[in-house]
Amino acid sequence: MKALILVGGFGTRLRPLTLTLPKPLIEFCNKPMILHQIEGLAGVTDIVLAVNYRPEVMVAILQKYEKLYNVTITFSVETEPLGTGRLTCPDLEIFREPDTLITLPNSDFPGPLALAREILQKDASPFFVLNSDVICDYPFEQMRDFHIQHGSEGTIVVTKVDEPSKYGVVVNKAASTKIECFVEKPQEFISNKINAGIYMFSPSVLDRIEVSRQMGVM
């Protein structure tokens, strides 16, 4: 199994802490935020970190954890922000809180995914993609099983919120886990599910990636 963690942001909302450290290295519950994710990914053999801000600090600190967690950590360094990639998948499913599951359509995903293509496509197994600031009880095993079961190219984790009008929401098709659309800050209730920043993709999505365009994950 493989994983890509998106750590390219500048963490401006956490300044002054992030003036010297990238946001994923800021401690949460006595350990760097990103270590919560690496520990949660137990069993994953290859982790790619898509880095833009202070890559030398990330490399110096995280290389020592490879042996500790028995994982190969590769740094995909962007010389300029390329974005994460944009999902225009014709086949995307949702997964969240074992009671709520959905699938991603076929995708168009540049940026860090394209730069990490060699590792993520080295075998036919699907791979996780995570935003670096997501800390929760990661449902990785259930998500993997769900992704394999539904057979679509991608799976997105969603979570429920009390005030959906403050967020972009995910709308799934009736009686289905397939995503119908994303709606930004709806004024009338259509869904209370939002993107939780955790995905799983089949390697086939990488065949449609272009590195030259700046785009972002929905």
Query: How far, in Å, CA of 212 to CA of 110, rounded?
Result: 8
185 is catalytic: yes
> From the candidates 64, 178, 185, 193, which is the catalytic residue?
185
* Dihedral sign of CA atoms 161, 158, 33, 107 in order: negative
Query: How far, in Å, CA of 2 to CA of 26, rounded?
Result: 24
Query: How far, in Å, CA of 184 to CA of 190, rounded?
Result: 11
Report the chain's C-alpha Rg in angstroms. Answer: 17
Contact assessment for residue 19 and residue 117, using Cβ atoms and an 8 Å cutoff:
no
Query: How far, in Å, CA of 32 to CA of 30, rounded?
Result: 7
Q: Which two tokens stand for residue 40?
A: 């949660």
Query: How far, in Å, CA of 171 to CA of 191, rounded?
Result: 6
Report the catalytic residues.
185
